[in-house]
Structure 1
Amino acid sequence: MRRRIALNRFFSKNTAMQKNPDSSSKFRTRFERSAARWAARAKRLGIPLVSEVRKEAIYQSTLERRAQVHREADSRFEGCTSLTDGARQLRMRRTDLTEQMEREGWLARINNRWRATQLATDGGWLVERGPAAIRYAQVTPDGVTEIARRMGIAPGA
């Protein structure tokens, strides 16, 4: 009997809440319900809420910052080519190019992969691309001209 009374009280409270369209959560998403609860708490505590216009401005500035970061990351790799394509530009075999770069101290063989050394990345001759587990070296346009100068040949000749 007590359970039935408690359940009746519970359902009568909820049906009363649903009569008010503002408190109806039937069609709201979980996030909207959570946001509404936090807004009610903030209002009770006297904390001013961020306006919708301000929220949109924050969102847009965040998007712009992310786009700028991606543009800067992409500009670092602009014009970079694989070691094979760099060797083609120099009219030589890839193995000869990697041997030359290893002698110059630009490449090092680490875990059976060619990795760019700090000397080459600081000089802007090589870059490393790919996720951390699968990094691979690429030659920059400056790297192709520098290796051609050191070998005494014209690139593309």
Structure 2
Amino acid sequence: MGFMIAGAATALAACDASPGSSGAEKQKTGAGSKAIHVYRDPECGCCEAWAEIARKAGYEVTVESRADMPAIKALHGVPDDLRSCHTAVAGGYAIEGHVPLKSVARLLAERPDDIRGIAVPGMPRGSPGMEMPDGSIDAYAVMAFGAAGEVSAFGA
């Protein structure tokens, strides 16, 4: 996993670039809502691919290009070692990176109170929005993170 995170850091240099959480965003992405607000670096295209997958899964997706992605991630409590190229907010939770939509649905259905969000660290090939023409897939896991920085497996 260490080499995967190191490799992801290189990939993130191309996609990773401050605060901007408004009351309107919280209202749009509150409990019971099918809204997802995606923050993306203007130079990254895979974020739009993930947003389109979310739309096809029935979510109302808005996308906001931001040059200050590290600050957005910090604002939403995403631990450094779980960061990816885009950060989404839905139902009051952070969704970091190329998280499968079945995990997003589970998060929003279960609404666990002990986590702040879920993440797929880096940009693994074959994850939603990172599909490869040759069909190659990297192993990856969906991780949950809490307000105090604790990290655990979230599962599918």
TM over 0.5: no
Structure with greater strand share of residues: 2
Larger relative CO (CA 8 A, sep 6+): 1 or 2? 2
Higher CA-based Rg: 1
Q: TM-score, normalised by structure 2?
A: 0.23
Structure with greater helix share of residues: 1
